[in-house]
Chains A and B, each alone.
Chain A
Amino acid sequence: MTFLKNFVNVLSVASISFILLSSVFFIIVYFNLMGGRLKSKGGIGFVVFGAILVVAGLFVRPLLYLGVAYFLVLWALAGLGGRLWDAKVGKWMLIFGGAGFALSLLDGNFFLIAAKPDNVPIAAMIFLLGIFTWIALRKAYYNDQAILAGGIPYEKTESDEKLFTWPDLVYTEMLCMIILTIVMIVWSIGLRAPLEEAANPTSSPNPAKAPWYFLGLQEMLVYFDPWLAGVVLPTLIIVGLMAIPYIDTNPKGNGYYSFRERKWEIGVFLYGFLVLWSFLIITGTFLRGPNWSFYGPYEFWDPNKLEPLVNIDLSELFWVKMLSMPLPKLWLIREAPGLILVMLYLGIAPLLAIGPFRRFYQKMGAARYYVGAYLFLTMLALPIKMVLRWLFNLKYLVHIQEIFLNI
Chain B
Amino acid sequence: MKPQEPIPHNYSMRTLNLIFALTSIGLLAVTGAMVFYDYVRGWKWFQLEFNRIQQGRIEQELRANNDEAMRKQLAALDKETREGQVEIARHRDRYVAAQKELEEWEGRHYAADQDYRFAKALLDAKRYEVEAAHVQHRADEHQKQREYDELVARLASRNLRLQQVTRDRDAARARVGVFLANIQKVEDRRKELTAKAELLQKQLNSVSFPSANSLILNAPMVDFINPTLKIDQVVLNDLFIEMNYMAVPRVDRCQTCHRAIDRPGFESKKEAERLLTELRTKLDKNLIEPSRRADAEARVAELERTTKASQDILNPFRTHPKLDMFVGSASPHPLLEYGCTACHRGQDRATEFGRAGHTPMSKRMEMRWKKVSFPLFPRTKDYEQRNWGYEVNPFLDTPMYPRQYSEAGCVKCHAGQIDVEGAEKITKATHMVELYGCHACHKIDNWRFSELQKPGPSLEGIAEKTTPEWAYRWIANPSRFRPTTRMPSFFYQRNMVGPAVPPAERAQNVKYQDAEIHSIVTYLFKSSTRRAWSAPTAAGDAARGKELVESIGCMGCHISQDTIKDDKGVVRVAKRDDFPLERHFGFNLVGVGTKTNPNWVFNWVKNPKAYDPLAPMPNLRLSDQEASDITAYLISLQKPRFMQDPMRPPDPKAVRELAKGYLINTMTDRDAEAKLNAMPLRAQLEYLGQRSIEKYGCYSCHDIRGFDGLKPIGTELTIEGSKTLHLFDFGFFGDSTHTHDYGNDDGEKEHVLHTVPSWIYNKVRSPRVYDDRRAKPYNDKLKMPNFHLSPEEAQLVTSVVLGLTKEKVAENRLAARDPRHRASEEGRKLISQSNCRGCHVVNRRGRAIASMIPDPNFLPPDLTPEGPRAQSPWLFNFLKDPTVMKIRPWMRVRMPTFQFTDNQAATLVAGFAAEGNEHQFDTTQFLTPSAQNIAIGREVFTMLRCQQCHSLTQVDPANPPIPNIADTQSLAPNLTLSKIRLRHDWIADWIRRPDEMIPGTRMPTNFPRDPKTGGFQSPLALAMDSPQFAAQKAALLPYFQDETALKKTMGDAVALTNYMRDYIWSIGIDRMRSAGAGESTPQRVPLQPQPTTPPAPATQETRLR
Residues of A within 8 A of B (CB): 112, 162-164, 167-168, 171-172, 174-175, 178-179, 181-182, 185-186, 189, 196-203, 205-206, 301-304
B376 to chain A, nearest CB (A): 9
B724 adjacent to A186 (CB under 8 Å): no
- Closest Cβ neighbor of B350 among chain A residues: A197
Is B189 at the interface (CB under 8 A from chain A)?
no
> What is the chain B residue whose CB lies nearest that of A195?
B355
B578 to chain A, nearest CB (A): 41
Q: Is the CB of B33 within 8 A of A185?
A: yes
Further contacts, 13 of them, CB under 8 A, given A178-B27, A302-B735: A112-B737, A167-B9, A168-B9, A168-B10, A171-B20, A178-B20, A182-B26, A197-B397, A198-B243, A203-B724, A203-B726, A203-B727, A205-B395
Q: Which one of A168, A182, A198 lies within 8 Å of B244 (CB-CB)?
A: A198
Closest to A186 in B: B30
Instruction: Check: B393 CB closer than 8 A to any chain A CB.
Output: yes
Interface size on B, residues (CB 8 A): 33
A301–B735 CB distance below 8 A: yes
Contact A200 B7 (CB under 8 A): no
A181 to B33 alpha-carbon distance, docked (Å): 13
Q: List 24 A-B contacts (CB under 8 A).
A: A162-B7, A168-B11, A171-B16, A172-B16, A174-B20, A178-B23, A178-B24, A179-B23, A182-B26, A185-B31, A189-B30, A197-B393, A197-B395, A197-B396, A197-B397, A199-B244, A200-B724, A201-B245, A202-B244, A203-B395, A203-B727, A205-B395, A302-B732, A303-B735
Given A200-B397, A203-B397, A172 contacting B11 (CB threshold 8 A): yes
Chain A residues near B724: list those with CB within 8 A.
Answer: 200, 202-203
User: 10 closest A-B pairs (Cβ-Cβ)?
Assistant: A197-B395, A203-B724, A185-B30, A178-B23, A168-B10, A203-B726, A200-B244, A182-B26, A182-B30, A189-B37
- Please determine whether A175 and B735 come into contact, CB atoms closer than 8 angstroms: no
Selected from B7, B33, B355, the residue in CB contact (under 8 A) with A163 is B7
A160 to B34, CA, bound (A): 46
The minimal Cβ–Cβ distance linking A300 to chain B, given in whole angstroms, is 9
Chain A min CB distance to B727 (Å): 8
- Please, which residues of chain B bring their CB within 8 A of the CB of A202? 244, 724
Q: Could you tell me which B residues sit within 8 Å of A by CB distance?
A: 7, 9-11, 13, 16, 19-20, 23-24, 26-27, 30-31, 33-34, 37, 243-245, 355, 393, 395-397, 724-727, 731-732, 735, 737
Residues of B within 8 A of A168 (CB): 9-11
Shortest Cβ gap from B249 to chain A (Å): 16
A175 touches B20 (CB 8 A): yes
B27 and A182: CB pair below 8 A?
A: yes
A186 to B37, CA, bound (A): 11
Residue of A whose beta carbon sits closest to that of B727: A203
* Contact among B7, B30, B737 for A164, CB-based, below 8 A: B7
Contacts of B20 in A (CB 8 A): 171, 174-175, 178
Q: Which residue of the partner chain, among B23, B355, B397, B726, contacts A175 with CB atoms under 8 Å? A: B23
Q: How far apart are the CA atoms of A96 and B20 in the complex, in Å?
A: 33
Distance from B776 Cβ to chain A, minimum over Cβ atoms (Å): 12
B23 touches A189 (CB 8 A): no
Shortest Cβ distance from B10 into A: residue:
A168
Docked Cα-Cα span, A202 to B245, in Å, equals: 10
Report A-chain residues with C-beta under 8 Å of the C-beta of B24: 178
Residues of A within 8 A of B397 (CB): 197-198, 200, 203
Which of B7, B26, B726, B732 has a CB less than 8 Å from the CB of A206? B726
Provide the bound-state CA to CA distance between A179 and B24, in Å.
Answer: 9
Complex interface: chain A residues within 8 A of B11 (CB): 167-168, 172
Contacts of A167 in B (CB 8 A): 9, 11, 13, 16
Interfacial chain B residues near A171, Cβ < 8 Å: 16, 20
Q: Which residue of B lies closest to A184 (CB)?
A: B30
- Given the complex, which residues of B lie within 8 Å of A182, measured CB to CB? 23, 26-27, 30
Taking the closest CB of chain A, its distance from the CB of B351, in whole angstroms, is 14
Kindly state the separation between the CA atoms of A389 and B392 in the bound complex, as whole angstroms. 38
| Complex interface: chain B residues within 8 A of A185 (CB) | 30-31, 33-34
Beta-carbon contact of B10 and A163 below 8 Å:
yes
User: In whole angstroms, how far apart are the Cα atoms of A302 and B31 in the complex?
Assistant: 41
CB proximity of A280 to chain B, nearest CB, Å: 26
Contact (Cβ within 8 A) A196 B23: no
Chain A residues, Cβ within 8 Å of B245: 201
Assess whether A189 is in contact with B33, with CB atoms less than 8 Å apart: yes
Contacts of A303 in B (CB 8 A): 735
* CA of A129 to CA of B1060, assembled, Å: 102
Q: Which residues of chain B come closer than 8 Å to A181, judged between CB atoms?
A: 27, 30
In Å, the complex CA distance between A189 and B38 comes to 9
Min C-beta distance of B33 to chain A, whole Å: 6
Cβ distance A395 to chain B, nearest Cβ, rounded Å: 28
User: In the complex the two chains form, what is the Cα distance from A175 to B355 in whole Å?
Assistant: 39
A164 contacts B9, C-beta separation under 8 Å:
yes
What is the bound-complex CA distance between A164 and B24, given in angstroms? 23
A171 to B7, CA, bound (A): 16
Cα A175 to Cα B23 with chains together (Å): 8
How far, in Å, is B54 (CB) from chain A's closest CB? 32
Q: Which residue of A lies closest to B724 (CB)?
A: A203
Shortest distance between the CB of B874 and any CB in chain A (Å) = 56
Residue on A with the closest CB to B738? A300
A201 touches B244 (CB 8 A): yes
Q: Which residue of B lies closest to A201 (CB)?
A: B244
- Determine whether the beta carbon of B7 is less than 8 Å from that of A196: no
Residues of chain B with a CB closer than 8 A to A199's CB = 244
Which residues on A sit within 8 Å (CB–CB) of B395? 196-197, 200, 203, 205
Minimum CB distance partner of B9 in chain A: A168
Distance (whole angstroms) from the CB of A247 to the closest CB of chain B: 35
Closest CB in chain A relative to B394 CB, distance in Å: 8
A112 to B735, CA, bound (A): 12
Bound state CA distance, A205 and B245, in angstroms? Answer: 18
When distances are taken between beta carbons in the complex, the residues of chain A under 8 Å from B355 are 197
Asked if B16 and A163 make an inter-chain contact with CB atoms under 8 angstroms apart, the answer reads no
A331 to B9, CA, bound (A): 72
Residues of A within 8 A of B396 (CB): 197
Query: Which residues does chain A contribute within 8 Å of B16, judged by CB atoms?
Result: 167, 171-172, 175
Residues of B within 8 A of A112 (CB): 737
Which residues of chain A are near B33, meaning CB under 8 Å?
A: 185-186, 189
Q: How far is the CA of A201 from the CA of B395 in the complex (A)?
A: 11
A355 CB to nearest chain B CB (Å): 50
Closest residue on chain B to residue A196 by CB atoms: B395
Residues of A within 8 A of B727 (CB): 203
Nearest-neighbor residue (CB-CB) of B726 within chain A: A203
Nearest-CB distance from B421 to chain A (Å)?
A: 36
Give complex CA distance A302, B731 in Å.
10
A198: which B residues are within 8 A, CB to CB?
243-244, 397
Which residue of chain B has its CB nearest to the CB of A169?
B10
- Distance in angstroms from A388 CB to nearest chain B CB is 33
Q: Whole-angstrom distance between the alpha carbons of A199 and B245 in the complex?
A: 11
**Cβ contacts under 8 Å, A174 to chain B:** 20
Residues in chain A near residue B23, CB distance under 8 A: 175, 178-179, 182
User: In the assembled complex, how far is the CB of residue A313 from the closest CB belonging to chain B, in whole angstroms?
Assistant: 30
Q: Which residue of A lies closest to B393 (CB)?
A: A197
Residues of chain B contacted by A162 (CB below 8 angstroms): 7
The CA-CA distance from A199 to B11 in the complex, in Å, is: 52
> B349 — nearest CB in chain A belongs to which residue?
A198
Chain A residues whose C-beta falls within 8 Å of the C-beta of B725 in the assembled complex: 203
The complex places the Cα of A199 from the Cα of B725 at a distance, in Å, of 14
In the bound complex, CA of A323 to CA of B724 (Å):
50
A33 to B744, CA, bound (A): 64
Measured between beta carbons, the chain B residues less than 8 angstroms from A201 are 244-245
Tell me the minimal C-beta distance from B740 to chain A in angstroms: 13
How long is the Cα–Cα vector from A198 to B33 in the complex, in angstroms?
28
How close is A243's CB to chain B, nearest CB, in angstroms? 36
Residues of A within 8 A of B13 (CB): 167
Identify the interface centre among B10, B393, B396: most chain A CB within 10 Å of its CB.
Answer: B10
Q: A205 vs B34: C-alpha distance in the bound complex, in angstroms?
A: 30
Closest to A197 in B: B395
In the assembled complex, the Cα of A110 lies from the Cα of B544 at a distance in Å of 76
- Per the bound structure, the CA–CA distance linking A185 and B34 in Å amounts to 7
Tell me, rounded to whole Å, the shortest Cβ–Cβ distance linking B5 to chain A: 10
